Structures are given as structure tokens and as C-alpha cells.
Amino acid sequence: MSLTIYDTLHREKRVFQPRDPRRVTLYVCGPTVYDYAHIGNARPPVVFDVLTRLLRRTYGAAKVVYARNVTDVDDKINQKAAREGTPIGDVTSRYEAAYLEDMSRLNVSPPDLAPHVTDHIDAIVAQIGAIMDQGCAYAAEGHVLFDVSSYQNYGRLSGRNLDDMIMGARVEVAPYKKNPHDFVLWKPSKEGEPSWPSPWGEGRPGWHIECSAMIEETLGLPIDIHGGGIDLVFPHHENEIAQGVCAHGHAHAPDAHAEYSRYWMHNGFLTVDAEKMSKSVGNVLLLHDLVQAIPGEVVRWALLSAHYRQPLDWNQSLLDQSRKALDRLYGALHRAADVEASDDQPPADFLKSIEDDLNTPGAMATLFALSSEIERAMTAGDAASVARAKGQLKAAADLLGVLQAEPATWFDAGVDDVFRTEVEGLLEQRAAARAGKDWPEADRIRDRLNALKVVVMDGPTGATWRVKA
């Protein structure tokens, strides 16, 4: 079996072949730490966490190096610190800590490397110098700008043609730019903003250069996979390629982009109740709030329930379905709690789905099939099949990063002993009433359970329950 991924640059699915299977490298653009992340920002780290789990399984855990950067130099960070009257470092460390806490609630494994811009200014200055030496950038009024006309493949990733872009340019163009699409590599800082010395004056890096410089310094070129949300294709990733290629004198080599990243992966956008999230609409859902209100696994399941390249709409029904899906799977594991798993590998059809450009909906269908097999085999008293299906279900779920809780804990969350005894007593009475065909009594007990906000899930081998969210 082999992994295929849809490569944004080649616009097709390609079989994944790392440059060196003993060191598989992956870089995903991480958060700008000026505020809490919203639910859309959680999609890339969750998707690429699944990819990393798969790569670690395929090549060996120690052979994969995953870097997710932290952008800690940015205008929005400066503005926030100025508004609050706090040091910039307070703002960045506060929101980075919150981000990491939220990621752990989503079972996102920490990346191997988390380079911060402020720790890599030397590499950034060196890369800008190399780009200038190649004649692909120029200094003007304290700025250094990348000259997009110097790179013959500019626009290749995003499928844009520079001439068309220039014709259609409506942006207000700074007078020191030779071309409206030239972008900033270095710029002067305003009074009170962080700044570092450079051959072009005191200042700070632009956004795009941070990633290409940190990739080169921390992972080395070319990397195997570069990922991020679809909005980053242009200009961020287009500009990263231009920088990474031109710093090494390949501005005119037709296929030099492959010397930067061998594959490009982008996730689709998340909307909320069919609308784009925006502060003006007032529908921005913060991940930090969501994971306080609902289990992180429900959020993770919901994020993986659509194929990563498709748009995903976040709404109540998605959350209800995700919760139900996990209840069903945990329910099967709960009923099979006393059976020891006899397998530790995901089944072939699960791997086939996940290796097909991370087809998570297909992979989830296998989880449901395995839980049905557990229920069937429990009813049939077929312990060997329960043991096998349970082991396969756990191994497959590990690759998706779900079903990480103890089943009993999952259903128990937030429930104390008195409440549990009461509910379990009612369930026994309900079973007895049903067995005796005393329907009015069964209805009365159901109403009582409803009043306690208890959801009962009847399976072929018994009932499980939980408190309504």
C-alpha cells in the first residue's frame, strides 16, 4: 500500500515518495499568537496531525520531523500589546500557551519543532541577503522588496499569471515598489515596535520570509510536505517558494520549486452556519470556548468528518452527529470492556481510505463497521471476533487520534456517584418494566430519565447512557 496525496502545485494526486525515508520532513504554517484561535484555525493542525500519525506509522516514529511555526512578530501582536499597555512578550506567551492547551484537548500531538520568528532573525537576515545577492530583491526607503519579475515561475503554485495580475492590480501601490506585486522581505519598525539590526537598517521581517528561512534552518531543503489552509496558497506560499528558490540562484530553473517543497497540501475552509466567520458578522467561534463546552474529541471528530480538501460547515447538527458517532463507538468498546483485544493493527480497508489522500470519512466508515462487528459478535458470544474487532478498532482510532478515553469515563464525564446510582437504578427498572411489557411504567421511567437529561443508547447487547451536553 502507498500513500497518495493531492498536491496543490501539480493539481493532482501523487504517490508520496519522501526524499529520504529515514528523515521525512513536514512543515505547517502555525498560529500568529495575538488572540485565541478560532475553530477554522484548528482544522490544519488536526488534519496534519492525522497525516503525521500516518507518516510515523509508515516510516517509524523517529524518522518523521514535523515543524509547526509560531509567528510572534506581527502588526496585530503589536497593536494588541499597545491597546493593553502590556509588553509584546506577554501577549505572545499568553496566546501561545492557550493555543497549546487547546491543541492538547484536541489530542493534537506536539510538533517535533516549533520555531519562533524571534529566535531566527539571523537566518531571516541571511536569507534576505542571499536573495539580494542573486538580484531578486532590492532595497528602497528602509524596506527590502522581493522583485517578482525576477522569478520566472512566480504564480505557478496558485495558477496565476504575473502579467494578468499586473493588469488587474487594484491595490494601492507603495511608491517605492517597482511592481505592484513585489512583496516585503524587511521593513522599518515604528517607534516602540520590536526591531533588529540589519544591513538595510533597523527593522523587522515581513511575514513570508519567516517561513522560508525557518524551513531552511530547521528542516533543510527540500522538505517533503508543506501544508496549511487554502487561503495561504496565495500570496503566502507562492512567495515562500519564490524566496526559497531564488535564495539559491535557481530563479530561472524551470523545476526549481521542487527544491523547496516536494508536495503541497492545503485544507479547505470552515464556515459557521453556512457563513464565513468574521468579526463583523459576530460568528467567530473561539476554539478555547468550544473545548470548555464540549469534549475535545467531539470537536476533533467533527473537523475530520469531511474530507480535508472539502469545505466544512460547522453547525449544531454536525456536533450532534459527531457526538452520536463517538457514543456509538465508545458504546461498543464499553460493552466489550471485559474482552482483551487480540489485534493491534488497523484493518486493510481503513488504511486504504486514509492512505488515499487522507480520506477520513471513508476511514470513519470502517470504525462503524468494526463497532457493529463487536456488537454482533457480543450477541453471538463469539469472543474471538470481539477481541479481534476491538483491537482493530482501537488501532484505527489511534491513527485518527480518537477514542483515547476509557469508555466508562467517556459516558461518565461530570457525573457523581449518587447520580450514577440513581440512573442505573432507573435503567434496571426500565429493563424490568419492558421485560414485563408494562409500557406505562417504562414510559414513566423514560420521562424521569429525560428530566434528568440522560440520553439512553440501546445497543443489541444492552444500554449505555450519558448526560445531554
> Binding residues for ligand AMP, per CB under 6 A?
29, 31-32, 40-41, 43-44, 228-229, 231-232, 267, 269-270, 277
In one-letter notation, the amino acid at residue 277 is M
Q: Judged by CB, which is closer to ligand AMP: 76, or 453? A: 76
Chain centre to alpha carbon of residue 121: 26
Using CB positions, name the residue nearest to ligand AMP.
229
* Least distance from ligand AMP to the Cβ atom of residue 228, Å: 4
How many residues are recorded in the chain? Answer: 469
Residue for grid cell 533597523: 202
Using CA atoms, how far residue 301 sits from 45, 106, 393, in Å, is: 13, 9, 15
Task: Tell which residue, 457, 332, 326, 348, has the closest CA to residue 385.
Answer: 332
* Least distance from ligand AMP to the Cβ atom of residue 31, Å: 5
Q: Which does 211 bind (CB under 5 to 8 A by kind): ligand AMP, Zn ion, none?
A: Zn ion
Residues binding Zn ion: number (CB under 5 A): 2
Task: Tell which residue, 77, 13, 67, has the closest CA to residue 45.
Answer: 67
3-class state of residue 271 by DSSP: strand
Q: Judged by CB, which is closer to Zn ion: 229, or 391? A: 229
* Least distance from ligand AMP to the Cβ atom of residue 268, Å: 7
Q: Which does 150 bind (CB under 5 to 8 A by kind): Zn ion, ligand AMP, none?
A: none
Examine residue 215 and tell whether it contacts Zn ion (CB under 5 A).
no
* Least distance from ligand AMP to the Cβ atom of residue 43, Å: 4
Q: Which does 32 bind (CB under 5 to 8 A by kind): ligand AMP, Zn ion, none?
A: ligand AMP
Q: Which does 231 bind (CB under 5 to 8 A by kind): Zn ion, ligand AMP, none?
A: ligand AMP
C-alpha span between 49 and 100 (Å, rounded): 14
DSSP annotation of 178: S
User: x/- string (CB under 5 A) for Zn ion, residues 3-42?
Assistant: --------------------------x-------------
* Least distance from ligand AMP to the Cβ atom of residue 266, Å: 8
Chain centre to alpha carbon of residue 43: 4
DSSP letters for 393-451: HHHHHHHHT---S-HHHHHHTT--HHHHHHHHHHHHHHHHHHHTT-HHHHHHHHHHHHH
Among 211, 306, 312, 405, interactor with Zn ion by CB under 5 A:
211
Site residues (CB under 5 A) for Zn ion?
Answer: 29, 211
